[in-house]
Amino acid sequence: MSSKRNMMICPRCWNKNRPCDKCEDTGYVPNVQLSDNFTLWELVRSNEAMTRGIPNDPIVRELDRLREMCQRLVQKVRNAKGLLTVTSGFRSLALNRAVKGSPTSAHPAARAMDVVPKNCSLTDLMHWFADTDIGFDQAILEPGWVHIGYKHPTSGQQRRQLLQKYGPGDYRVWRP
């Protein structure tokens, strides 16, 4: 993260000293506040993208979706359950392929993020999703994090699915 106030490393060129029209070759762009406690940087930063030089900059529609997800769901989760570390947010299609993400993942559609709660367990977070009346598409208990899907990536539905991942492609209904 830049030491410049309200700026972030450019997610198109990753400040690699190469021509970039997004940051005008400065290496930095504004860090957009998406909700009270979430910024764009948290949702686009990726060690894999930085290392490989894979652009991970959302277009306007995707930025709007990230803002909506943060304001209507993830900020409410944080308010209820405390600090959340975002381990994976938006992924460009190229980044999703590089990390071997599912081709149907909601991450490239700017409709999902993976989080680790700091003040409760992963299971406690899943219980919150089971009990809330706030709309969401999926909460998936995975080894080490919870995948939060706000809306289905293509239909925009909020199916309120509670799942647990047991292995590659093995998702089962999570029951409290």
Strand duo 112-117 + 145-149: pairing:
antiparallel
Q: Summarize pLDDT for 87-132 with one digit per residue, the tens.
A: 999 999 999 999 999 999 999 999 999 999 999 999 999 999 999 9
Please give the single-letter amino acid code of residue 69: M
Burial class (CB in 10 A: 0-12, 13-18, 19+), 143: exposed
Average pLDDT value for residue range 32-50: 97
Query: Which pLDDT does position 176 carry in this prediction?
Result: 85
Query: Which pLDDT does position 17 carry in this prediction?
Result: 77
Q: In the predicted model, what is the mean pLDDT of the chain?
A: 95
Q: Which of 95, 100, 15 is nearest to 55 (CA)?
A: 95
Number of Cβ within 10 Å of residue 77's Cβ equals 22
Query: Which pLDDT does position 2 carry in this prediction?
Result: 40
Q: Summarize pLDDT for 131-172 with one digit per residue, the tens.
A: 999 999 999 999 999 999 999 999 999 999 999 999 988 999
Model confidence at 1: pLDDT above 60: no
Query: Which stretch of DSSP H or E encloses residue 28?
Result: strand 28-30
3-class state of residue 30 by DSSP: strand
Q: What share of the chain is helix, strand, coil (3-state, %, to 5)?
A: 30, 25, 50
State the Cα–Cα distance between residues 122 and 142, nearest whole angstrom: 9
Average pLDDT value for residue range 39-60: 96
Q: Which of 86, 80, 72 is nearest to 125 (CA)?
A: 80
Q: Which of 7, 9, 6 is nearest to 47 (CA)?
A: 9
Q: For the sheet containing 145-149, what is the strand order?
A: 84-88, 112-117, 145-149, 138-142, 161-167, 170-173
Average pLDDT value for residue range 7-19: 91
- Domain made up of 58-173: CATH architecture: 2-Layer Sandwich (3.30)
